[in-house]
Structure 1
């Protein structure tokens, strides 16, 4: 799996205004009179974290939590992580001095937990691939280029049942899931679902006792703003770590919100004041995603990814349609079937085009996190004590 880290940012006054400097300016700073190169670099890092997360605010609300948006989020994390890695490398002589040693060690412990999240997300992507295969069967069975017969409908219905079973939440009992998905699974399939009460996904590479909710809570644990005296004693480096920790937390939380995971849970509190220039865009995105999770048709979804919602909606419409079909088909009913098939084809294509690049990006995030953590621990002689 790949590894990734995100941006850390600090500024001498946390309310530092956003400027429109080039993003690569952090690597080409000179030291003007009155400010050290380190101060300027840390201020630039903080501004760029804010700018990158402002860029994530979609102009169209429908773009939020789509595969392209998630990939853009991961791109943002990778950029922040690389800038943070440079800051850590340039200041490695200060990392083993108190209190900086505790700040950086805590961050690397959080990044270790993020690796498990990446593994779970990778497995969640594989689950979506299995659903994609069921969509392909439905599309093949109801191909609009040929006359649709009763046999094709039976094949499509079976694929829709398999799809519904595949989208059951691993942690819920069969009866509660069947109730939850009553509008998704056709009525005469409920008996078949109940007979599969012991069905469990075998795709997870994380332990069966592993919990995405607990892992996110662990990343968020004891994440408090630096004290003034510690900011001074660390030359503001600890503010950079604090910022990067929030970037890591938010990105992992957003991934868990979007992609199927064991024991998903979205109840985290981002305890950061708006003194930090990056706080407003991150808190705004956190609020928007939280509000999305509270919508009636998303509340019990196995993931907030836009494309998952598309699967659920199209499959529900298909189930309702197949339940009302009688043969031979009337021209009106056949036209309705073809319209629903076209809707399903659009969702299928979006998933087909997006999953492979998304998985590659998650792998890259994983490997970048590993790289930054290994380099950071090596730089102050803790690698042997904190190796994974």
Structure 2
């Protein structure tokens, strides 16, 4: 459980980003201006959609899956922009390529850590299913075994995943490169850099909230201040303040986890465990037996919802991993064949063989 944090000051990776010089609109052709505006307006709408209508939805598995889905859509959009710009790789600044490749491998590492944690949480469902199986014929002589399974689940869930420890370091590194480079004599380059800036802001925000949820710590939850000139800036500031504020409130209130479906199961286990401990409950009167049966039924429903939510979120994280990997491989392929236009839609036949789990 983390201690209440000091008030968070705006984070400025390379000085004050509000003072950075954006490309003047007059330097962009109507086509390029429309391309950039359409991208930024779509990103603004996604930030608005990320703000839950109910505070209880913050960091539910449903919300997390939706956030990852929007992240996938935005990374796909940046690939489309790269293609529509018709900007050959040979015209890319070496620094752009280095940053793209460096950031992509870091995001792949984050995906692997998130997938590892989701797999660990899913493994905990085996304990729950064992407990529910032994409670299926309540009251029975299997209560001690059921109680042992619930103990095993609580110990498993409270353990730490070492793969998550590196996430905060990676996020700090990504945040440190969250700037908007100046591009001389290249209107297309300016559009590309500004679009990639928006993608990086969304990526750091989503991955930061996931890392906080999975690690049980808000120590590295970042408050970004972004360029006001971006069409999505206000929408981002609004959702960031809302979501980060709610996460900090949850931890400061002493709740064990911010993942809502997991918390719901913990509440059910906490309620049921004392009732069945050491076989207590066998031979109770019908009213008490019915109450216990209701608790068992409630645990079953919540465990099912948790399992389904983890599976759906795992699939979405895997989709993000594939998008990152295909884009990275497409760029490397184009570099090897002589610097043609970077088309991230190119398929790499051996993608599956390169995935490390």
Global fold match (TM > 0.5): yes
Partners of 1:299 and 1:362 lie apart in 2 by: 29
CA contact (8 A) 1:113 1:215 kept: yes
CA contact (8 A) 1:293 1:299 kept: no
1:47 aligns with 2:41: yes
Superposed, 1:55-94 pairs within 5 Å as 55-91=49-85, 93=87
1:168 aligns with 2:158: yes
1:289 aligns with 2:256: no
Q: 1:239 — aligned with what?
A: 194
- Tell me the secondary structure at the aligned position of residue 46 of structure 2: helix
CA contact (8 A) 1:216 1:249 kept: yes
1:154 deviation in Å? 0.7
1:309 aligns with 2:263: yes
1:247 deviation in Å? 1.9
1:296 deviation in Å? 5.2
- Tell me the secondary structure at the aligned position of residue 211 of structure 1: helix
Superposed, 1:134-213 pairs within 5 Å as 134-143=127-136, 146-149=137-140, 151-170=141-160, 211-213=166-168
* RMSD, aligned α-carbons: 3.5
Deviation by residue 1:303-344 (Cα, 9 ceiling, x = unmatched): 532211112222222224335945431233212212221221
TM-score with structure 2 setting the length: 0.76
Q: 2:351 — aligned with what?
A: none
Superposed, 1:334-345 pairs within 5 Å as 334-345=289-300
Q: Provide structure 1 residue ranges, at least 5 long, that are not aligned to the other structure.
A: 1-11, 17-33, 171-200
CA contact (8 A) 1:118 1:366 kept: yes
CA contact (8 A) 1:121 1:260 kept: no
Range with greater deviation from structure 2 (229-238 or 129-138): 229-238
1:85 deviation in Å? 0.4
- Tell me the secondary structure at the aligned position of residue 294 of structure 1: helix
Give the direction of change, closer, same or farther, for the CA distance of 1:147–1:367 in structure 2 (3 Å limit). closer
Give the direction of change, closer, same or farther, for the CA distance of 1:297–1:53 in structure 2 (3 Å limit). closer
- Tell me the secondary structure at the aligned position of residue 270 of structure 1: coil
1:91 deviation in Å? 3.2
Range with greater deviation from structure 2 (360-369 or 332-341): 332-341
Q: Which has the higher helix share?
A: 2
1:230 deviation in Å? 8.4
Q: 2:125 — aligned with what?
A: 132
TM-score with structure 1 setting the length: 0.70
CA contact (8 A) 2:51 2:243 kept: no
Superposed, 1:9-48 pairs within 5 Å as 35-48=29-42
In the alignment, which of 218, 222, 229 is matched to residue 275 of structure 1? 229
1:370 aligns with 2:325: yes
1:113 deviation in Å? 0.5
1:248 deviation in Å? 1.9
Q: 2:304 — aligned with what?
A: 349
Q: 2:276 — aligned with what?
A: 322
Q: 1:109 — aligned with what?
A: 102
